[in-house]
Chains A and B, each alone.
Chain A
Amino acid sequence: MISYIVRRLLLIIPTIFFALSFLFALFFVLPGDPATLIAGGANRTPDPGVIERINERYGFDDPLAVQFGDYWKRTLQWDLGESFQNRRSVNEILGDKAINSVRLAIWATLIEIVFGISIGVLSAIRRYSLADKLTTAVTALASAVPVFVLGFLLQYAFAVQPNKHGWPEWMRLRTQGIGPNTWTLFFIPTGQTWRYLALPAVVLAAASTALAARMTRGSMLEVLRADYMRTARAKGLDERRVVWRHGLRNAMLPVVTLIGLDFGTVIGAAVLTEKTFSWPGLGSEIADSVISRDLPVTMGLTLVVVLAFTVVNLIVDVSYAWFDPRICLGDEGGA
């Protein structure tokens, strides 16, 4: 087990190396010269002297290999450079945005776990009931509706309407920004912050919750037919305990995989949700930096996303061994 974890941690190194090297290479392949962009944008013709000074300053003149080597030298010292755009340190940007992203991701994932799994289980045990059919329809819808559509609909229902009709204060949610940004235990919002968190968390969770519910349903239906479930009933357990105590853990394996992947994804790829609700997170920052060709920011933030993703994956894989004791991590190869 320990050796498995160590092996997996070592594997993170090549993963990150190749991910970021690829990104680095991509940056120089894409059209548009970074120096021109820094000097004022692609549509203007900046002074050649300015371009030259910029090239000098950022080392764009150096051979690609040298730039590449420099990049990794700095990265290994956790110096992620500074933004081309506003010369802010990337480490600083990261500190701001990553925490917001992780908090939002935690809440989206909690929603996914609680609602996805319970809805999935309930519709599996009430298969073909009205509730099951309704769930199937709603989950299909939820996974198909674009984030911005759902976002605007919810903003209308929970922010615009309450204001228009003077609903009591506790029913009003906020649609933009992060509010007072106060938290306890890292992720529990205090004061008014929850009003800002609620809608983006729900919107971010919607599609993955729907998917988790459907996957739980399918997995649970299979488990419900298993012989050990009949044994559990033959013991005299009531159906509720049979399902939750004997069935759920067996049904969880594929769902855990999904939830792990989703958590990794929502940290770095919540662009649409973050944009819709002006939530200052990593996803929108990365998207902005790509558009403005702000290489240090793109690379620095991506590095953190890749790290988060691999660590979450490792946690998921280790959790398999708990969910299913037949999986023996020590005996397998590294990957």
Chain B
Amino acid sequence: MSEPTTGPETLLSVRDLRAYFDTDDGVVRAVDGVSFEVRRGEVFAVVGESGSGKSVTATTIMGLQPTVRIASGEVLWKGRDLLQLPEAQHGRIRGKEIAMIFQDPLGALNPVHTVGRQIGEMARIHEGASRKEAMRRAVEMLDLVGIPEAAKRARMYPHEFSGGMRQRAMIAMAITCRPELLIADEPTTALDVTVQAQVLDVLLRIKDEIDSAIMLITHDLGVVAGLADRVMVMYAGRAVETGTAPQLFYRSSHPYTLGLLAGLPRLEGPRDEPLVPIPGAPPSLINVPPGCAFHPRCSFVRADGLCRQTRPELRQATAADHRSACHELEALDGVTVESVRRAGAGR
């Protein structure tokens, strides 16, 4: 595996991160050797099913996993390894330079403090703002994310907000200190579909406004297609394919990515077209299958047993910046989402 490059535009560079949880049942290898980088100003999407390790990757970067064991790896933030940083210094980066937006905005906001106070707290912690100044900033931020009557809303509690407004408030909180990287962990999953689009719009607009990068964690390929510059697909704690969004969508080079795309409903297809699921279920992270973790569910699995025995590393696929971890990369040439869909429908 070649190391990700660290150029001047690289903000975050994660190298061979292994985040394990020691449980009574065994070691949960939530993240098992993941490398990627996030560049200044881009939208970098991490895609995968639940349990693929995408959220643990994010929370480990933020230092929000108290029970995690970092078996190896570096999380380089502008050249400094966050994993080695003392807690006090990490705290100064957290929220100020890297901010996070969570999935469930109702649960993620403190029910007993006003929304304005929670947003203003960012300015109080990182900029030493006075109470009054913090409130003024909170109102400004709420206004920025498009909440009407921001001054009035700032004095209200999270339960008095609608779901979409709460997520906007979360975004307002995250951007108060104009972070360089915004980690959004499933920011729209808990929202109604109509509200999802609004929140994503806000997120993109804000990104340009404050000139930050976004690491977007999602299982929703529709969200990725509309927003992301580059994508990393994760499966069982590892990256299986990385590339630009067009590369992933139009020249998918991993059976798992192809499966995900084939499973999406299409508007333009015949109305009675059945959805094509990936057979089987994601593996337990305590007992990841040997070889390629995806091989039990893969329809391209090799007859000679290589997929079952040897773990494939990421290697170049259709372009220099398009990489896939599949032994059958060459055989996938010419396989399209459409052909996978047809093959799946015929099963």
Contact = CB atoms under 8 A, between A and B. Distances in A.
Given A226-B107, A249-B112, A231 B88 contact: no
A234 B112 contact: no
Contact of B62 (A234, A249, A323): A234
Given A227-B104, A325-B159, A326-B157, A232 B110 contact: yes
B125 A230 contact: no
Given A227-B102, A231-B102, A325 B94 contact: no
A275 interface: no
A171 interface: no
Interface in B69-111: 87-88, 91-96, 99-100, 102, 104, 107-111
B108 A227 contact: yes
A325 B114 CA distance: 9
A246 B118 CA distance: 10
Most chain A CB within a 10 A radius of its CB, from B87, B96, B102, B110: B110
B121 interface: yes
Contacts of A233: 64, 94
Nearest to B157: A325
A326 B108 contact: no
A250 interface: yes
Nearest to B59: A230
B93 A228 contact: no
Residues of A contacting B: mostly: helix
B108 A231 contact: yes
B40 interface: no
Interface string B119-143: 0011001100000000000000000
A234 B99 contact: yes
Contacts of A165: none
Interface string A215-234: 00000000000111011111
Contacts of A232: 110
A42 to B, nearest CB: 58
Interface stretch (A62-70, A105-113, A235-243): A235-243
Contacts of B87: 238
A309 B281 CA distance: 59
B302 interface: no
Given A235-B122, A325-B157, A250 B108 contact: no
B342 interface: no
A324 interface: yes
A1 to B, nearest CB: 16
Contacts of A231: 100, 102, 108-110, 170, 173
Given A325-B157, A326-B159, A234 B111 contact: no
B266 interface: no
A326 B112 CA distance: 8
A235 B125 contact: yes
B173 A228 contact: no
Interface in A229-274: 230-238, 246, 249-250
B112 A250 contact: yes
Contact of B88 (A228, A238, A325): A238
Given A226-B107, A228-B107, A230-B64, A325 B112 contact: yes
Given A234-B94, A234-B99, A236-B125, A250 B111 contact: yes
A316 B96 CA distance: 39
Interface in B137-176: 157, 159, 170, 173
Q: Which of A232, A234, A246, A326 has the most CB of B within 10 A?
A: A234
A236 B102 contact: no
B286 to A, nearest CB: 22
B110 A246 contact: yes
B59 to A, nearest CB: 8
Contacts of B111: 228, 250, 324-326
Nearest to A227: B107
A105 to B, nearest CB: 28
Contacts of B126: 236
B121 A235 contact: yes
Contacts of B95: 234-237
B109 A228 contact: yes
Contacts of A326: 111, 157, 159
B24 to A, nearest CB: 15
Contacts of A249: 112
Contacts of B88: 238
B96 A236 contact: yes
Nearest to B122: A235
B110 A228 contact: yes
A308 B266 CA distance: 69
Given A246-B113, A325-B111, A326-B157, A230 B102 contact: yes
Contact of A238 (B59, B91, B100, B107): B91
Nearest to A323: B112
Contacts of B93: 236
Contact of B94 (A226, A236, A246, A250): A236
A234 B110 contact: no
Interface string B231-268: 00000000000000000000000000000000000000
Residue among A226, A235, A250, A325 with the highest chain B CB neighbour number at 10 A: A235
B102 to A, nearest CB: 6
B249 to A, nearest CB: 31
A324 B122 contact: no
B118 to A, nearest CB: 8
A136 to B, nearest CB: 21
Contacts of B110: 228, 231-232, 246, 250
B94 A235 contact: yes
Given A236-B91, A325-B159, A230 B108 contact: yes
Contacts of B157: 325-326
Contacts of A235: 94-95, 99, 121-122, 125, 173
Interface of B: 59, 62, 64, 87-88, 91-96, 99-100, 102, 104, 107-113, 121-122, 125-126, 157, 159, 170, 173
> Nearest 9 A-B pairs (CB), nearest first?
A236-B95, A227-B107, A236-B94, A228-B110, A235-B95, A234-B100, A325-B157, A227-B108, A231-B108
Given A234-B95, A235-B125, 6 more contacts: A226-B107, A230-B59, A230-B102, A236-B92, A238-B87, A246-B110
